[in-house]
Amino acid sequence: MRRLDKQILNIALPSIISNITVPLLGMVDVAIVGHLGSATYIGAISVGSMIFNVTYWLFGFLRMGTSGLTSQALGRRDLGEVMVMFLRSTLIGLSIALLLVLLQYPLREFALWLVAPTAEVGKLTRTYFNICIWGAPATLTLYCLSGWYIGMQNTRIPMLVSIFQNVVNIVASLFFVFVLGMKVEGVALGTVIAQYSGILLSLLLWWVHYRRLRRHGHRSELLNTIQLKRFFRLNTDIFFRTLCLVAVMLFFTSAGARQGDIILAVNTLLMQFYLLFSYFMDGFAFAGEAICGKHFGSGNRSAYRITVKRVFVWALGCSLLFTLLYTFGGPAYIRLLTDEGEVIAASRPFLPWVIALPLMGFVAFIWDGIFIGSTASRQMLVSSFIASCLFFALFFCFRRMLGNHGLWLAYTCYLFSRGLVQTYQYHHGLKDLRS
How large is the angle between the packed helices 136-151 and 61-75, nearest 10 degrees? 30
Residue range 235-260, pLDDT digits in tens: 788 888 888 988 898 788 888 877 77
- The rounded distance, in Å, linking the Cα atoms of 83 and 411 is 40
| Torsion sign, CA atoms 354, 360, 363, 369 | negative
More confident: 103 or 174: 103
Q: Answer yes or no: is pLDDT of 23 > 80.
A: no
Q: Answer yes or no: is pLDDT of 201 > 50.
A: yes
| Whole-number pLDDT of residue 67 | 83
Q: Please, are residues 226 and 170 in contact by the beta-carbon 8 Å criterion?
A: no
| Whole-number pLDDT of residue 321 | 93
According to the per-residue pLDDT averaged within each range, which of 8-22, 154-168, 339-353 is highest?
A: 154-168
Find the range with the poorest average confidence among 136-145, 178-187, 388-397.
178-187
| Whole-number pLDDT of residue 435 | 42
∠ at Cα 26 (17, 278), nearest 5°? 50
According to the per-residue pLDDT averaged within each range, which of 183-192, 206-215, 290-299, 363-372 is highest?
A: 363-372
Q: Answer yes or no: is pLDDT of 433 > 60.
A: no
Domain that residue 154 falls in: 2-434
CA distances (Å), origin 375, targets 155, 314, 396: 19, 23, 34
Q: Answer yes or no: is pLDDT of 27 > 70.
A: no
116 torsion bin: left (phi>0), alpha (psi -120 to 50), beta (else): left
- The rounded distance, in Å, linking the Cα atoms of 245 and 240 is 9
| Whole-number pLDDT of residue 226 | 66
Share of the chain above pLDDT 90, in %: 23
Q: What are phi and psi of 38, to 5 degrees?
A: -155, 140
| Whole-number pLDDT of residue 173 | 84
Say which amino acid occupies 14: P
| Whole-number pLDDT of residue 434 | 44
Mean pLDDT, rounded, for 128-156:
89
Mean pLDDT, rounded, for 384-394:
94
- The rounded distance, in Å, linking the Cα atoms of 414 and 252 is 12
More confident: 212 or 31: 212
Residue range 90-107, pLDDT digits in tens: 888 899 999 999 998 898
Q: Answer yes or no: is pLDDT of 199 > 90.
A: yes
- DSSP 8-state class, residue 153: T
- The rounded distance, in Å, linking the Cα atoms of 316 and 43 is 33
More confident: 24 or 51: 51
310-341: buried (b, 16+ CB within 10 Å) or exposed (e) per residue? bbbebbbebbeebbebbeeebeebbeebbebe
| Whole-number pLDDT of residue 114 | 76
| Torsion sign, CA atoms 78, 79, 85, 88 | negative
354-389: buried (b, 16+ CB within 10 Å) or exposed (e) per residue? bbbbbebbbbbbbbbbbbbbbbbbbbbbbbbbbbbe
- The rounded distance, in Å, linking the Cα atoms of 313 and 308 is 9
User: What separation, in Å, do the N-terminal and C-terminal C-alpha atoms of the chain show?
Assistant: 21
Question: Which run of H or of E encompasses 335?
Answer: helix 301-337
> Average pLDDT of the chain?
83
Q: Answer yes or no: is pLDDT of 338 > 90.
A: no
Mean pLDDT, rounded, for 367-388:
89
- The rounded distance, in Å, linking the Cα atoms of 15 and 380 is 22
| Whole-number pLDDT of residue 217 | 59
CB count in 10 Å sphere of residue 428: 8
Q: What is residue 259's three-state secondary structure?
A: coil
Q: What are phi and psi of 233, to 5 degrees?
A: -65, -45
Q: Answer yes or no: is pLDDT of 127 > 50.
A: yes
| Whole-number pLDDT of residue 22 | 64
Mean pLDDT, rounded, for 284-312:
85
CB count in 10 Å sphere of residue 159: 21
- The rounded distance, in Å, linking the Cα atoms of 148 and 133 is 24
Q: Answer yes or no: is pLDDT of 197 > 90.
A: yes
Q: Answer yes or no: is pLDDT of 17 > 70.
A: yes
Q: What is residue 100's three-state secondary structure?
A: helix
Find the range with the poorest average confidence among 42-56, 177-191, 406-420.
42-56
Total structural domains within the chain: 1
C-alpha closest to that of 196 among 170, 174, 165, 159? 165
Model-level pTM greater than 0.85?
Answer: no
Q: Answer yes or no: is pLDDT of 410 > 90.
A: yes
